[in-house]
Structure 1
Amino acid sequence: MIATILLSFGVLFLAELGDKSQLMALTFSLRYRWWVVLSGITVASVAVNLIAAGVGHFLGTALPANAIAVVTALTLLVVGLWTLRDAIGSGADSDDAPPPSTRNAFLVVISAFMLAELGDRTMFAAAALASKNGWLAVWIGSTLGMVAAGALAILVGKLAGKHLPERGIAFASGLLFLFFAAKTILDAFVPGLGGWGSTGLALAVPAVVGLGIGAWRFTRPGRTAAPIADQPANALP
């Protein structure tokens, strides 16, 4: 059992490195307290890996991959647009807005992670391990591996947040979520493109969105002209 736990931990931890779930953990760590994000990841990991271990043990790895890919892509799209909305929020109004409550943040993290992990490669990896090993050991090891990878992303997010502009990180993260959403759909429904083909097409989505946002911010009315009300009274002729 110990060997299976260690195997599952290693497989899930390595599978999570650089995955969209780590990106999600990093992004949430810029918005919420670290312990809220880690707690949400832990609860979501326990639930998702229990499903994966149960499916792998009792049903093999037979999962509706295309349907799950659509749900995953929609989740990533919503999180990406939400992140971009906050990143391009208007000046002081967005910076001075009160942070969400701990309860709401906790529920947001759990929901986002569970939906994003359903049908992800890590879930299939856990299901495959459970089809050949004890489901309980796979569940424990997979959960620990996923939580450890999330904790690493949270640490990176907190360290990066101290040296890089939070708004810039959030903007880049939002575009990356859009990239993962597009790539998830392409990999599921257009497998003939291959890895490089789907990556190239998926990159067009955040590129177009990023250019569009940049053009809108540059050309929006009132960007350069200061309102008269903001000028000192003695500046009037």
Structure 2
Amino acid sequence: MDLDLATIAIVFAAIFVVELPDKTFIATLVLATRFRPLFVWIGVSLAFLVQTLVAVVIGGLLANLPKRPVEVFAALMFLAGGVILLRGAKKADEEEKETEEEFAHKGAATAVGLKAIAVSFSVLFLAEWGDLSQLLTANMVLRFHQPLSVFLGAFLALATVSALGAVIGRALLARVHLTTIRRVGGVVCLLLAALTTLEILGVVSAPHA
């Protein structure tokens, strides 16, 4: 199965802007104030590895369904993602505080080494099932028909977001508001919805495996 660098780049960019304003970023930031950032990043990334694999497998299964309903479903999913992000943009900063409080007391603060990794893994693994980035990852498989490329793009984006949260999360939030990032993510989803719709109508050519 060949890798497509363009697909990896597109998926990376889309998942990155969708996940950056998500509670995952804040949760990683909070965990990194309690444990060593490296251990937090390893644990969170392992959780993302499993979740991304599951999302890609689900997308691959859905891709075997009749083409037209799948294309319509993909367009609707991108549209829903865009609307959700844009409608929630105004509340992003308020949700940031709520998320910090939610994750502030999870796991023993004295955890080190493998225990800190395990705590970080379990916290994110349980918190992130069925979130927007996971749904969009499955949707990207439907759109590009490149499961390996989608997997790499999505996982690298999620690992990058968690690294930013663990290392420079607080400094980044001081300079860039989550409201702005969430709006950018919403626009990206709406553009993908529009492009998918144009492909359904035959105005532009759809990507193939």
Scaled to the shorter chain, the TM-score interval is 0.5 to 0.7
1:77 corresponds in structure 2 to 83
In 1, Cα distance between equivalents of 2:10 and 2:88: 26
Q: Which secondary structure does the structure 2 equivalent of 1:164 belong to?
A: helix
In 1, Cα distance between equivalents of 2:84 and 2:72: 18
In 1, Cα distance between equivalents of 2:95 and 2:54: 34
When the two chains are superposed, the root-mean-square deviation of aligned CA atoms in Å is 4.0
1:98 corresponds in structure 2 to 101
* Matches for 1:36-47 after TM superposition, within 5 Å: 37-47=44-54
Shift, 1:190, TM fit: 5.3
CA separation of 1:82 and 1:163: change in aligned 2, threshold 3 A: same
Unpaired runs of 5+ in structure 1?
130-137, 196-237
2:17 corresponds in structure 1 to 23
Identity %: 10
CA contact (8 A) 2:86 2:182 kept: yes
* Matches for 1:1-237 after TM superposition, within 5 Å: 4=1, 7-8=2-3, 10=5, 13-19=8-14, 21-28=15-22, 29-33=24-28, 34=41, 37-54=44-61, 64-82=70-88, 84-88=90-94, 94=97, 98-100=101-103, 105-112=124-131, 113-120=133-140, 122-125=141-144, 127=145, 129=146, 143-158=151-166, 160-166=168-174, 168-189=176-197
Comparing 158-167 with 73-82, greater Cα deviation is found at: 158-167
CA separation of 1:54 and 1:165: change in aligned 2, threshold 3 A: closer
CA separation of 1:8 and 1:85: change in aligned 2, threshold 3 A: same
CA contact (8 A) 1:30 1:161 kept: yes
Q: Which secondary structure does the structure 2 equivalent of 1:111 belong to?
A: coil
CA contact (8 A) 1:49 1:143 kept: yes
In 1, Cα distance between equivalents of 2:81 and 2:127: 12
Comparing 34-43 with 65-74, greater Cα deviation is found at: 34-43
CA contact (8 A) 2:81 2:186 kept: no
CA deviation string 1:173-203 (max 9, x = no partner): 12112212432333344568x89xxxxxxxx
In 2, Cα distance between equivalents of 1:96 and 1:119: 26
CA contact (8 A) 1:84 1:174 kept: no
TM-score, structure 1 as length reference:
0.53
Shift, 1:170, TM fit: 0.8
CA separation of 1:168 and 1:10: change in aligned 2, threshold 3 A: closer
CA contact (8 A) 1:80 1:178 kept: yes
TM-score, structure 2 as length reference:
0.58
What is the aligned length?
172
Shift, 1:71, TM fit: 2.2
In 2, Cα distance between equivalents of 1:119 and 1:96: 26
CA separation of 1:44 and 1:118: change in aligned 2, threshold 3 A: same
CA contact (8 A) 2:49 2:155 kept: yes
CA separation of 1:64 and 1:89: change in aligned 2, threshold 3 A: closer
Shift, 1:31, TM fit: 0.9
CA deviation string 1:14-58 (max 9, x = no partner): 332322x112333345311245653443233212222344566x6
Q: Which amino acid in 2 is paired with 1:41?
A: F
CA deviation string 1:81-105 (max 9, x = no partner): 4453131569xxx479613457675
Q: Which amino acid in 2 is paired with 1:30?
A: F
Q: Which amino acid in 2 is paired with 1:70?
A: L
Shift, 1:107, TM fit: 4.2
